[in-house]
Amino acid sequence: MDIINKNPHKQIHVYSCVQVLTTLGSNAWRSSVCVLWKLEQGPAEALLNGAVHWVTTRHKHQPGPGLHIVSFDVAEEKFKEIERPGCGSLDICNFHLVVIYGCLSAVVCHDRGQIDIWVMKEYGVKESWTKEYVIRDRLFRSLSQR
């Protein structure tokens, strides 16, 4: 994945748990290791507040359950973990990040066909996660019957 920051121009490549970046115009590449989390393959899911956000899992030797949200601050060139909403045990396939009205948001798809949309009202504050929308499978059935 490439991320270009406006000032100075930076190009970032992320490989599982190592990020490599350069300031455009220079020949030097820097790298750092994201040792706590395993960044899953695929694009970052949300760009907000100068940071790129991913849904991650912890490496096997690290304590902690399930999925996590990790951000990479492009200006500071640092990773940090953001607490996810308390929405139960999840799989990487059914938890996605988006930005809604300028807020980090999580789309949670349940096996029973329900979709919950959680919004982090105050960036970086776990207690500010709020379940804003619930889309039930009845909606999908009624749309398919039209």
Which pLDDT score is estimated for 123? 96
Question: For residue range 60-77, what is the model confidence (pLDDT) as tens digits?
Answer: 544 455 678 888 888 887
Question: For residue range 20-54, what is the model confidence (pLDDT) as tens digits?
Answer: 454 556 666 555 555 555 665 555 678 899 898 88
Which residue did the predictor score with more confidence, 138 or 97?
A: 97
Instruction: For residues 119-128, give the mean pLDDT.
Output: 96
CA angle (130, 54, 88) in 5-degree steps: 45
